[in-house]
Structure 1
Amino acid sequence: MVRKKNALLILFFVSLSGYVHAQTSSYEELQAAYIFNFAKYIRWPEETPEFVIGVYGKPEIIELFKNTLAGKRVGGRDILVRAVEGAEDVTGCSIIYIASSASKMLKTLVSVTARKSILIVTAEDMISSGAMISFVVEDDKLKFKIKRKTLSETGLVASDGLLKLAILL
């Protein structure tokens, strides 16, 4: 069963990765789809009634995430997408996505979320600045980097299938 689940996960991410330039989907829509799968294949130590994804970026990106993830569920919980405008807004979030336009906030958010079970995902490669997962484009394909040490320090556990698809640091 685990092998079948990992194979399906790999197939999904591989099919998404080739669409960066081939489809009319925007870069952010693809990232939202990836984040949905991160949510499914990362285990959080605590569960909340809703699965909250905080988005730090322009209003149109927040709306795009809301539309892309509308009606989706993680572990039987509804996904709620909300705007993050400052460090005080991270409470209750399971994932924080930092758009390229908001990358200057990464260091502040990293310090506020230190040792908390909050996954920080960045739209551009900011792994060396404290992100746990960062998106990168290589050979016109959307890929992602995972910094395992930072992830494990927060108590988050990625599935083996997810780790196999990532660029690990």
Structure 2
Amino acid sequence: MRRIVSLINLVCIFCFVLPGQGAAPSSEDKLKVAYLYNFAKFIQWPEETFTDEQSPLVIGVLGRSSVEAELAPLAQKTVRNRPIVIRHFSKVEEVQECHLLYISMPPLKSVGKVLQVLGSKAIVTVGDATDFAAQGGVVQFVTLRERLRFLVNLEYALKNHIKIDSQLLSLAVEVVGRAK
């Protein structure tokens, strides 16, 4: 029952919240944070990524982003009985313990190189750079008809033993590399 309520909440966020053309950046940032929180509910990481049952779920931000300011309320929530910890990383080399990583890079930096450094770590990478998913990111934010949506690179997730619930995949506008 709890899972159904979570799914209904997720669908409401994905379908009914419209940032609008003239929406303030903080509205879009709040929506991205809501997405991040709900993504965490429908993703399963390999057991070895957590040291024990009380280990926190770490949500990180790589680079400077206004999204970071909106993440603070998540530190008071839990996902699957794990407390959420928010971390900021200035450089990709700093990213060690992290489960869900929002990557905010200046346009001149290569997202592909950042993703290459992260390699085969079981990190769900999220970004909104053009071709983010095509370069190896797991979730890419896209704006369609003035709505913030997302696409999923399932191939990369599966390669790193990350399982994404089919209910979440069904809400994506596109899923690259479907499971066979």
Question: Same fold judged by TM-score > 0.5?
Answer: yes
Cα drift, residue 55 of structure 1? 0.3
Which residue matches 1:165?
171
1:40, 1:4 → 2: CA distance?
12
2:126, 2:115 → 1: CA distance?
11
Which residue matches 2:30?
29
What aligned pairs does 1:50-129 form with structure 2 within 5 A after superposition? 50-58=56-64, 60-65=66-71, 67-99=72-104, 101=106, 104=109, 106-125=111-130, 126-129=132-135
Gaps in structure 1 of 5+ consecutive residues: none
CA contact (8 A) 1:56 1:102 kept: no
CA contact (8 A) 1:53 1:80 kept: yes
Q: TM-score, with normalisation over the residues of structure 2?
A: 0.80
Which residue matches 1:131?
137
- Partner amino acid for 1:134? Q
Q: TM-score, with normalisation over the residues of structure 1?
A: 0.84
1:15, 1:168 → 2: CA distance?
21
Q: RMSD in angstroms over aligned alpha carbons?
A: 2.5
2:15, 2:31 → 1: CA distance?
12
Which residue matches 2:162?
156
Deviates more, 1:70-79 or 1:147-156: 70-79
With CA pairs under 8 Å and 6+ residues apart, which has the higher RCO, 1 or 2? 1
1:59, 1:11 → 2: CA distance?
25
2:155, 2:86 → 1: CA distance?
27
What is the aligned-residue identity percentage? 29
- SS in structure 1 of the partner of residue 87 of structure 2: strand
Query: What is the number of residues matched between the two proteins?
Result: 167
Gaps in structure 2 of 5+ consecutive residues: none
- SS in structure 1 of the partner of residue 46 of structure 2: coil
Q: Kindly provide the CA deviation profile for residues 10-32 of structure 1, in whole angstroms up to 9, marking residues without a partner as x.
A: 2342233x235586542222111
Deviates more, 1:54-63 or 1:18-27: 18-27
Cα drift, residue 103 of structure 1? 7.3
Cα drift, residue 100 of structure 1? 5.1
